[in-house]
Structure 1
Amino acid sequence: MTTPQDAIAARRKLTNKLIAGKVAARLAPFFDPKVVLIAGDGSLLMGAAEVIAAFDAQFRDPDFIAYVRTSEATEIDSAGLRAAERGRWVGAWKGTPDQSGTYLATWKKVTGQWVIESELYVTLDRGR
């Protein structure tokens, strides 16, 4: 049987792959419709539609390469329905140094599938 940590790790790996593929609409099933995301620059995105639109805008930037999130730990609540994932993220663009930092994601289990309820990204290195 797959552990919640393994299921979340697999979903994170798949989102990294989809971001590298630059097809924003394919990310929609990974987000709760009411997701809240605080981006590395401090901007607030409310709802899956707004998050997907932000990805789409970045994917249209010809210099954008990808975001890669690498999980360092995932903790599951006692009911097995919520999780906190923390790790490091890196954003890459052609011709500029990578940006990177720390992230925290809240996952929740809905109809047997883990979806992202909220994410916080903190930019710690702007690649200057």
Structure 2
Amino acid sequence: MTAPKDAILARRRLTNKLIAAKEAARLRPFFVPGVNVIVGDGSLISGAEAVVAAFAAQFSDPDFAAFVRTPEAVELDADGQRAAERGAWVAVSRSQGEHIAGWYLAAWTKVRGQWLIESETFITLRS
């Protein structure tokens, strides 16, 4: 059986790969239906379908290369049903390379044995 922290880190690696491959629809299963994401400029995206649509819109930009999240820590609650992941993120474009970056915090919840993102907050510190 995979340890919760390892399972979350594996899912994060997979989301990074799907983003780099510009596969927005394949990101849907990683989010609870009512997910909330605060993006780097402070605006809020609510709902899994809206989050996937936002990814698809960014992927349509030919200059877009990737968003990479690099986890620094994953902490679980006492019941092992929720977790907080924190780390650094960077936006990569084909023309500028790594050009926007900052910190993020993701809240994960275990649903039917699978870790899903219930919220994410991205703080832009370099643009």
- Name 1:100's counterpart in structure 2: 101
Tell me the TM-score normalised to structure 1 length. Answer: 0.97
Letter in 2 for 1:13: R
The whole-number CA distance in structure 1 between the counterparts of 2:95 and 2:113 is: 42
Letter in 1 for 2:108: W
The whole-number CA distance in structure 1 between the counterparts of 2:4 and 2:69 is: 18
The whole-number CA distance in structure 2 between the counterparts of 1:76 and 1:18 is: 25
Where has structure 1 moved over 6 Å in runs of 4 or more? none
The whole-number CA distance in structure 2 between the counterparts of 1:111 and 1:94 is: 39
- Name 2:2's counterpart in structure 1: 2
The whole-number CA distance in structure 2 between the counterparts of 1:23 and 1:91 is: 16
How many percent of aligned residue pairs carry the same amino acid? 62
Question: What residue ranges of structure 2 are gaps of 5+ in the alignment?
Answer: none
SS at match of 1:62: coil
SS at match of 2:36: strand
SS at match of 1:9: helix
Cα root mean square deviation, aligned: 0.7
Deviation at 1:23, TM superposition (A): 1.1
Q: Is 1:118 the counterpart of 2:115 in the alignment?
A: no
Letter in 1 for 2:51: V
Tell me the TM-score normalised to structure 2 length. Answer: 0.97
Letter in 2 for 1:50: A
The whole-number CA distance in structure 2 between the counterparts of 1:108 and 1:18 is: 20
Deviation at 1:46, TM superposition (A): 0.3
Deviation at 1:96, TM superposition (A): 2.2
* Aligned positions, number: 126
SS at match of 1:80: coil
| Deviation string, structure 1 residues 66-113 (Cα, Å, up to 9, x no partner) | 000000000000000000000000101122252100000000000000
Letter in 2 for 1:116: I
